[in-house]
Amino acid sequence: MAESRTFSGLLAATAVGVYLLVIAGATAAITDAVAACTTWPLCQGPVTFSNPDLLIARGHRLTAAVVGVLTLVTVGIGLRTATRRRVKAALVTGLALYPVQVALGAFVATTGAAGQLPSAHLATGMAIFTSFVLALAWHLEAETGSDDEDPVDDLSPAPIPDDADDPVPTPDLSTRERLLGTVFAYFRLTKPRLMWLLCLVAAAGMTLAAGPSLTVRTVVLTLGGGVLAIGASGTFNHVLERDIDKRMDRTSDRPIATHQIPVRNALTFGGALTVAALALFWQVNVLAAALGLTAILFYSVVYTLVLKPNTVQNTVIGGAAGALPALIGWAAVEGTIGLPGLALAGVIFLWTPAHFYNLALAYKDDYEAGGFPMMPVVRGETETRKHIVYYLGATLVASGVLASLTSLGWLYALTSAALGAVFLWAVVALHREQTEAAAFRAFHASNAYLGTLLLAIVVDALVL
């Protein structure tokens, strides 16, 4: 068992090392460094403060050598330790592709080859990373999975508590206290915890499109419209799920579920927020307004009414709601939907399951009481933890694709690799501990990864 845990740690470290090479190789910093170092395996020439490209190239090649040794050690231990054939097959695939990756890199460096070879070099690195992530997911499943789980086949909502419709007792309050309480209740309808991250997504989309030329007017109108659109979506979600909220401990105190705010008033409030959001988006451009309306309708209707109560893939498909702000941010500047904007949206889309499945694990019983077919409820916790690794790996690959399509540099690369490693460590710990605390730790690590990555995009695009 101890050797198996050691192998898991080595495999995770190897995956992170390969990813560091991939994400660094996808950035503009390595592109410039390759042009400065045309010999292989060593770089000839002095390193100066005015031209640090040789240092970057040397660091990249040294890292590749260290990761290569780590790969050999990890695969050697894995072939002796792993019990599943597919784990061994993934390890052998990653090991076999590594010299191919090195050869492609050497050829590009010494010949200055352009065209498809640099892309093939990057794609091979991503394939190696994918192989080790799959091996990790499958090994953790074998090491920590349980055969005693009893997934739910017939998912029926729990009955609404008898006292759920009783008036909520309120203490004697002054007029000012009642007013502040009502204002705070409406504020809660807007789901303010979602706003900071989704606004960062839109900000990253804007800065990728505009860079330092981004105007204050575009920022204010786009983020203002985004805040109002998120508030409208949250309000409609509260209205549509008010009966289900009464069944779940986590949501039973929401303002509409407790009758603090009447449904009619909430609908009016949500409608007003929608009109205000579209008015601001319209001042930016028509496409931003259309995407804003799509985001509101998708979250309020498609996700809340269609996906969430009916399919185990609700979290996966529902990730489109969180990805749309990236397109809104790009469209606010360009008036079109560009490839980098789509790549950023892809990062958010793939990150969503890796992020939200942790919360689904922590609130598994609550979601079962609400009648929602969440992954841990209908497929089991072992399957859910495995899918978290899958989507985390896919998120990191998408981050590498984004780097290859833009001029993002070393800050983005280091942020993605460092915070990606933290996220992966939390997920490995979740597999081993299998506790609510571990699930929340992985959930917060996922928030930290995306939030810091988006900040790095903004800073990199505006300043560096």
Mean pLDDT computed over 422-442:
95
Please state which CATH number belongs to domain 178-462. 1.10.357.140
pLDDT at 250 over 80: yes
Cα of first residue to Cα of last residue in the chain, in angstroms, is 47
pLDDT at 100 over 60: yes
Mean pLDDT computed over 388-392:
97
- Residue 382 has a pLDDT of 94
- Amino acid at the residue 354: A
- Residue 280 has a pLDDT of 97
pLDDT (tens digit, 9 = 90+) per residue, 121-133? 888 999 999 999 9
Average pLDDT of the chain is 88
Percentage of residues of the chain with pLDDT beyond 70: 87
- Element of type H or E holding 36: helix 28-36
Assess contact for 22 and 126: CB atoms under 8 A: yes
* Sequence ranges of the domains in the chain: 2-144, 178-462
In this predicted model, which residue has the larger pLDDT, 446 or 25? 446
Bridge partner residues of 51 (DSSP): 48
pLDDT at 116 over 70: no
Percentage of residues of the chain with pLDDT beyond 90: 63
Stretch among 45-59, 403-417, 443-457 having the lowest mean pLDDT = 45-59
Quote the pTM value.
0.91
d(CA 208, CA 412) in angstroms, rounded, equals 12
- Residue 166 has a pLDDT of 56
pLDDT (tens digit, 9 = 90+) per residue, 232-247? 999 999 999 998 888 8
Mean pLDDT computed over 269-289:
97
User: Binning pLDDT at 50, 70 and 90, where does residue 186 land?
Assistant: very high
- Residue 115 has a pLDDT of 57
User: Binning pLDDT at 50, 70 and 90, where does residue 231 land?
Assistant: very high
User: Binning pLDDT at 50, 70 and 90, where does residue 174 land?
Assistant: confident
pLDDT (tens digit, 9 = 90+) per residue, 3-20? 678 889 999 999 999 999
d(CA 239, CA 256) in angstroms, rounded, equals 7
User: Binning pLDDT at 50, 70 and 90, where does residue 48 land?
Assistant: low
d(CA 308, CA 317) in angstroms, rounded, equals 10
- Residue 44 has a pLDDT of 67
Mean pLDDT computed over 215-236:
96
pLDDT at 105 over 90: no
Stretch among 101-115, 329-343, 392-406 having the lowest mean pLDDT = 101-115
pLDDT (tens digit, 9 = 90+) per residue, 325-364? 999 999 999 999 999 999 999 999 999 999 999 999 999 9
User: Binning pLDDT at 50, 70 and 90, where does residue 448 land?
Assistant: very high
The pair of structure tokens assigned to 459 is 């800073």
pLDDT at 151 over 60: yes
pLDDT (tens digit, 9 = 90+) per residue, 139-148? 999 888 876 6
Assess contact for 199 and 219: CB atoms under 8 A: no
pLDDT at 159 over 80: no
Bridge partner residues of 48 (DSSP): 51
- Residue 170 has a pLDDT of 59
Three-class secondary structure assignment of 6-58: HHHHHHHHHHHHHHHHHHHHHCHHHHHHHHHCCCCCCCCCCCECCECHHHHHH
d(CA 55, CA 52) in angstroms, rounded, equals 5
In this predicted model, which residue has the larger pLDDT, 392 or 62? 392
Assess contact for 17 and 70: CB atoms under 8 A: yes
